[in-house]
């Protein structure tokens, strides 16, 4: 039995005091407002620090928030996932790092990339008595090196290809739709019927500048049926935005 789910990908922007009026601590009410209004069934977060994950787990009533940091000690920024506790059963949670040794925490590909380790979370969920299990992949690719992004995306594609269950793949890819690492997803997973739910939606990163944004870098892919998708607008309130990215939502039938 299929079910239509509302999926959100949401780069929260990490917690740093230098963001001033748009620091995480100032943006908390706006983040909650967006999530409560949109009411997604599943959220793929990016840039969620330990403090932010704990806050989300305590503040998002009705959701289970899971994930670990990308550092060697499993701390730091994460690609945490939140899902409605009453709707889903958690079967498993896994992580792998974008590196030749994906099981080694904090590891990275060699090359001229940023100093940040990159990680993907895999959350296996089921709706009891209704659907087969499915997987939520959530990632955040390197912002500096296209080569590292391509290798990371190849790793993600290989991971997804190895499974047979339905999937949703969310993330901040730090790449525009014409980039090889983005085209790779639908090309390599075409045999699975993979589609880019966010195709044609427009820019999603604005750097706390508002407007229509400056870069189109946030995505939701699936081998299910994408019913519709949209960018969640943010007009700002006296210069205060919910993030430096716009959240993206998609209705997907699995």
Residues 6+ apart with CB under 8 A from 182: 153, 173, 175, 176, 196, 219
Spatial CB neighbours of 235, under 8 Å, sequence gap ≥ 6: 210
Domain count, the chain: 1
Residue 82 backbone dihedrals phi, psi, to 5 degrees: -120, 140
CB atoms within 10 A of CB 6: 17
Domain span holding position 181: 4-253
d(CA 46, CA 175): 15
Residues 51-66, mean pLDDT to the nearest whole number: 98
Q: What is the pLDDT of residues 98-109, one digit of tens each?
A: 999 999 999 998
Other C-beta atoms closer than 10 Å to the C-beta of 202 total: 10
User: Is pLDDT at 205 greater than 90 in this prediction?
Assistant: yes
Q: Residue 73's pLDDT is what?
A: 93
Q: Which two tokens stand for residue 137?
A: 């992949």
The pLDDT of residue 164 is above 70: yes
Q: What is the CATH number of the domain that holds 67?
A: 3.60.10.10
Instruction: Give the total residue count for the chain.
Output: 254
pLDDT in tens, 104-143: 999 998 877 788 899 999 999 999 877 689 999 999 999 8
């Amino acid at each position: 039995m299929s079910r239509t789910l509302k999926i959100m990908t949401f780069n929260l922007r990490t917690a740093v005091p230098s963001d001033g009026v748009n620091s995480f601590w100032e943006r908390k009410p706006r983040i909650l407002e967006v999530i409560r209004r949109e009411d997604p069934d599943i959220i793929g977060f990016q840039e969620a620090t330990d403090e932010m994950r704990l806050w989300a787990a305590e503040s998002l009533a009705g959701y289970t928030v899971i994930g670990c940091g990308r550092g060697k000690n499993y701390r730091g920024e994460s690609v945490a996932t939140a899902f409605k506790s009453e709707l889903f059963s958690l079967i498993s949670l896994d992580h792998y790092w974008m590196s030749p040794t994906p099981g080694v925490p904090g590891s990275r590909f060699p090359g001229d990339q940023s100093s940040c380790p990159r990680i993907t979370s895999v959350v296996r969920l089921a709706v009891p008595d209704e659907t087969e299990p499915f997987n939520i992949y959530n990632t955040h690719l390197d912002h500096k090196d296209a080569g590292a992004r391509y290798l990371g995306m190849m790793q993600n594609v290989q991971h997804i290809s190895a499974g047979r269950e339905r999937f949703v793949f969310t993330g901040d890819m730090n790449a525009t739709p014409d980039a090889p690492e983005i085209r790779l997803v639908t090309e390599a997973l075409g045999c699975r019927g993979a589609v880019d739910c966010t195709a044609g939606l427009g820019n999603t990163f604005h750097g706390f500048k508002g407007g229509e944004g400056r870069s189109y870098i946030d995505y939701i892919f699936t081998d299910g049926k994408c019913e519709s998708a949209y960018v969640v607008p943010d007009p700002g309130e006296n210069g205060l935005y919910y993030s430096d990215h716009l959240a993206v939502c998609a209705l997907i039938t699995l």
